[in-house]
Amino acid sequence: MTKDQKNEVIELLKGKFSQYNNFYITDTESLSVDSVNKLRGQCFDKHVEMRVAKNTLIKKALESLDSEKYNGVYESLHKVTALLFSENPKEPAMIISSFRKTNNGEKPSLKAAFINGDVYVGDDKLLALTRIKSKNELIGEVIGLLQSPAKRVIAALLQNAEKKIQPVAELATADSVITSAVDGPALSDTPAAE
């Protein structure tokens, strides 16, 4: 690989790291070409971008952006590395887990994940990453929590209003019965024929 090609890869990676707040660093060393292609297909279907690059080029791209921000990721850059970029922090973890289940394997293994500024190092973090809630899921939960007390208050008010309206309706019915009994049948001014 020439120096120009390396610089081109570094620039491409810098663009990806800038574009996405979430990326996973995985080890795909023992996977066959067919398995890697299947993994790529699953990533494509879930809108996750997969890139394979040399560790030194990945490190240079990260250091040129912000060496402090990505400091916890550098120790994970060894062996064969595949990067998974996604808007959804949970999706790459779900892909890795399902891929392992369908292929009865341990690969790809998770080296590290960078999720919204937090670094998760090690394959043992994969289960926790599959349980991360997406932004939309969190917003939905918050809205549900906010609506729940309001719904209870409205339901209580409606129930209370129905209880108050019911006696008023009964009184109105009883009042019309009393009025018709007191007034009696209507009397006409003409005398009845004898």
Residue ranges covered by each domain of the chain: 3-132, 134-181
- Please report, rounded to a whole number, the percentage of residues in the chain having pLDDT higher than 90: 26
Whether the CB-CB separation of 83 and 121 falls below 8 Å is answered with no
> Residue 104: what pLDDT?
80
In Å, the largest CA–CA distance within the chain is 129
Q: Is the pLDDT of residue 20 over 70?
A: yes
SS3 letters for the chain? Answer: CCHHHHHHHHHHHHHHHHHCCEEEEEECCCCCHHHHHHHHHHHHHCCCEEEECCHHHHHHHHHHHHCCCCHHHHHHCCCCEEEEEECCCCHHHHHHHHHHHHHCCCCCEEEEEEECCEEEECHHHHHHHHCCCCHHHHHHHHHHHHHHHHHHHHHHHHHHHHHHHHHHHHHHHHHHHHHHHHHCCCCCCCCCCC
User: Domain 3-132 belongs to what architecture?
Assistant: 2-Layer Sandwich (3.30)
Respond yes or no on whether the N-terminal peptide bond of residue 185 is cis (omega within 30° of 0): no
How far, rounded to the nearest angstrom, does the alpha carbon of residue 24 sit from its chain's CA centroid? 17
Mean pLDDT, residues 107-112 taken together: 89
Tokens of 24: 């996973």
181 vs 21, residue with greater confidence: 21
Q: What is the pLDDT of residues 21-37, one digit of tens each?
A: 889 999 988 888 988 99
Global pTM reads 0.68
